[in-house]
Structure 1
Amino acid sequence: MTELALKFVAKIVAGQSPESDAVSPLEAGLPFLQGNAEFGSTSPTARWETAAAPKRAEPGDILVSVRAPVGAVNIADVKYGIGRGLCAVRPTIGHSRFFYWWLLSCSEHLNSVATGSTFTAISASDIGDLRISVVDSGEQRAISDFLDRETAEIDAFIADQEELIGLLTERRDASWQSAIDSLSATEVPLRRIVDSVVDGPFGSSLTAAHYSESGARVIRLGNIGVNAFKDLDQAFIPMAYFAELGAHSVRGGDVVVAGLGDDRMPLGRAAVVPELGPAIVKADCYRVRPNRLATSSFLAWVLSAPQTRARFGLMSRGSTRQRLNTSVVRDVLVPLPSIPEQERVVAETDEVIRELDATIADAREAITLSKERRAALISAAVTGKIDVRGLA
């Protein structure tokens, strides 16, 4: 099968941004896309407009993100002005829909050639140099029809699983909130019921160069679930570094709190640390050591509760992502029941919450596997590894 560089079968239009004062909220003008922030599942939804866009995409062009996340793809449904975060691919032969699927299959390769220390990026020439197999228009159409149908089924399954996750999360949080509301307890700042709150080392104190195959454990954000410690993400530093960073040490029975969050892994989630031997917390993680007024299990339970996570969100700092600092962690209000009541409420709710979390985890795994299957199917179809002509 003959291969050609993409630039020989499509026009590559590199985006260019107008002056910032020429861009305004979208009304009735030319929609403008600076990057992939407005990308949808197939086509974008613009929020801005400009009459001064130096570079424009035509309906049917494939829009490719050239800045992080590199390789995201949409189809232009109308004419757009495009900024430097995008390029438009305009096929000169063949069907746009085929080129859309083919460029989706190139995402992993584009990420491998992306460069940049602050954010990764590729150039329009990187897009133009991609090698595409030349197939006739009939086969292109057959591949497009096949992928339209097959991926629609996979996407519908993924949407169902995402809806299930939302419903299960609501049910879990409602059960949790009901238990919190049932406590006959005064609320106190967290600092009243802990001996210390310690954050992880920042900056040059702990970089990728410090890690090793063994030594002291480093507890990272990936280890902190919602009231559950996750031991799959294991990282270590040599004991010599541990001696230097001992002020950030963690021991079994401490509680670790996530100081950075997003929609999938919420800010403020907390977990009891098991016996790991020598360990420290990484940046954006906080070690909380309960005093005699609270048990470790209750502390992790109440910090992970929806009421407390909501309070963390209101108190958080950061313009792009929610972020905590030590004073916010110390000052968050939590209920303080007696030790027997702490033990009771955790015992009564823990099993229900863990069962729901396990089902949520299963649904997330199903989504991950479905996305992997989708990507493999697209790659196999556009490269001719499967013959779809009879299937479409």
Structure 2
Amino acid sequence: MGVAGEDGLVTYHYEVMRPRDWVDSRFIAYLMKSNWFTGELIKRERGIGAGGKGNVRTTEVPFSVLKTIDSYIPETDEQRAIADYLDQETTQIDVLVATQEELIRLLRERQAAIADAEFQRTEGKRTMTVRQTLVPLARRSVPGTGVVTAYRDGVVTLRTNRRADGYTMSAAEAGYQGVIPGDIVFHALDGFAGAVGIADSEGQCSPVYHVCSPRYDDDAEYLSLLIRYMGTSGFLSSQAPSTRQRSVDFRNWGTFARVPLVLPTVEHQKSFVEEYRQQTTQIDTLIAKAEEHIALAKERRSALITAAVTGQFDVRAAKKGARV
């Protein structure tokens, strides 16, 4: 929702409206962004029965419904004063948000650079294949245990640790295999996008996964980080045929087993994993703090807009107070 800055075209998903002569378009835009207006939309969405989910993002709300929302509209001068005030205040908040987003981008670049420096270096390393390095486990699954999923961020955990709904479940759990903490779990269709890591939970996973352990003394966490890097850097995409858009099929163990791995000594693997944990933990902490600042800023922005357009405070008085 916003005020168009230039002529153009939009799809049929949009409602294009023009305010009456005595209405400031910026004020109306802020009004329609407010928590109050969103609440009114949710009420009407439930009323028109389009899914009944209470989420305005799931329903197209036509103008015939929008125009049923009654709101007090102040005089034109006050509308402009509110819009001017919100333009100034929200711009300041948006700058703070953009600064934190840039910090997160730089932190993620730093995190990626650590992996680049390690896994792009080949000096003093030996070349092995997955078959020579990993052993597929194929444990018997325990019926009724939780389902383990490898996510694209490298976390391998029970689905219930993240969310319980939204998954397609097999009633018979045919071909499922057991997983225990410490296993290397690779998603044969999504591993190219980073869905590989060390399991932190006991459970079972579908046959689309390869559940493995090191064949020799190699560090399991180093191997999982290396394979994940090979996926996110695009290397795995060149190693197997594609079965769907932006996917690579490694369900055949023989195909996956041929993938080459370039490995340093076991001692170096262990020292790198320790250093990587420390540095990424620090970076993740900084990212979490930045994300918290962003969430608080956006919450304040939303609350400020709602309070201003619904007359909860006098913006003229707020401006005078700011100058003192």
| TM-score, shorter chain, exceeding 0.5 | yes
Match of 2:322 in 1: none
Structure 1: distance between partners of 2:156 and 2:279: 13
> Which aligned pairs between 1:102-113 and structure 2 lie closer than 5 A?
102-105=31-34, 106-107=37-38, 110=41, 113=45
Secondary structure of 2:315's counterpart equals coil
Higher share of residues assigned helix: 2
Task: Give aligned-pair identity as a percent.
Answer: 28
Match of 1:28 in 2: none
Structure 2: distance between partners of 1:313 and 1:107: 44
Question: Do the aligned partners of 2:149 and 2:205 also contact (CA within 8 Å) in 1?
Answer: no
Q: CA deviation at 1:361?
A: 2.4
**In structure 1, what residue type is equivalent to 2:24?**
H
**In structure 1, what residue type is equivalent to 2:29?**
Y
With normalisation by structure 1, the TM-score equals 0.61
> CA 1:333–1:354 in 2, change beyond 3 Å: closer, same or farther?
farther
> Which aligned pairs between 1:179-328 and structure 2 lie closer than 5 A?
179-182=118-121, 184-190=124-130, 192-196=132-136, 216-220=145-149, 225-226=153-154, 233=162, 235=164, 244=173, 247-257=176-186, 267-268=193-194, 270-274=196-200, 276-280=201-205, 286=209, 288-293=211-216, 294-305=218-229, 307-311=230-234, 314=237, 319=245, 322-327=246-251
**In structure 2, what residue type is equivalent to 1:98?**
F
Match of 1:89 in 2: 17
Q: CA deviation at 1:241?
A: 7.6
Q: CA deviation at 1:225?
A: 3.6
Match of 2:141 in 1: none
Number of equivalences: 290
CA RMSD for the aligned pairs?
A: 3.9
> CA 1:317–1:97 in 2, change beyond 3 Å: closer, same or farther?
farther
Structure 2: distance between partners of 1:149 and 1:130: 27
Task: Work out which of the residue numbers 113, 116, 133 in structure 2 matches 1:174.
Answer: 113
Structure 1: distance between partners of 2:265 and 2:38: 55
Match of 1:202 in 2: none
Q: CA deviation at 1:309?
A: 1.1
Match of 1:162 in 2: 101
Match of 1:388 in 2: 315
Structure 1: distance between partners of 2:237 and 2:228: 15
Secondary structure of 1:244's counterpart equals coil
With normalisation by structure 2, the TM-score equals 0.72
Q: CA deviation at 1:280?
A: 3.7
Structure 1: distance between partners of 2:40 and 2:128: 52
Structure 2: distance between partners of 1:384 and 1:317: 56
Considering Cα pairs closer than 8 Å and 6+ residues apart, tell me whether 1 or 2 has the greater RCO. Answer: 2
Secondary structure of 1:84's counterpart equals coil
Structure 2: distance between partners of 1:164 and 1:355: 14
Structure 2 segments unaligned to the other structure (5+ residues): 139-143, 320-324
> CA 1:170–1:313 in 2, change beyond 3 Å: closer, same or farther?
farther
Structure 2: distance between partners of 1:349 and 1:253: 17
Question: Do the aligned partners of 1:312 and 1:324 also contact (CA within 8 Å) in 2?
Answer: no
1:130 matches 2:82: no
Secondary structure of 1:271's counterpart equals strand
Task: Work out which of the residue numbers 301, 304, 311 in structure 2 matches 1:374.
Answer: 301
Structure 2: distance between partners of 1:312 and 1:109: 50
**In structure 2, what residue type is equivalent to 1:247?**
Y
Q: What do the CA deviations read for 1:185-223 (whole angstroms, capped 9, x no partner)?
A: 34455455333499xxxxxxxxxxxxxxxx7334456x6
Question: Do the aligned partners of 2:186 and 2:195 also contact (CA within 8 Å) in 1?
Answer: yes
Q: CA deviation at 1:268?
A: 0.6
Question: Do the aligned partners of 1:290 and 1:296 also contact (CA within 8 Å) in 2?
Answer: yes
1:79 matches 2:12: no
Match of 2:29 in 1: 100
Structure 2: distance between partners of 1:318 and 1:368: 35
Secondary structure of 1:141's counterpart equals helix
Secondary structure of 2:313's counterpart equals coil
Question: Do the aligned partners of 1:217 and 1:235 also contact (CA within 8 Å) in 2?
Answer: no
**In structure 2, what residue type is equivalent to 1:340?**
E
> CA 1:188–1:74 in 2, change beyond 3 Å: closer, same or farther?
farther
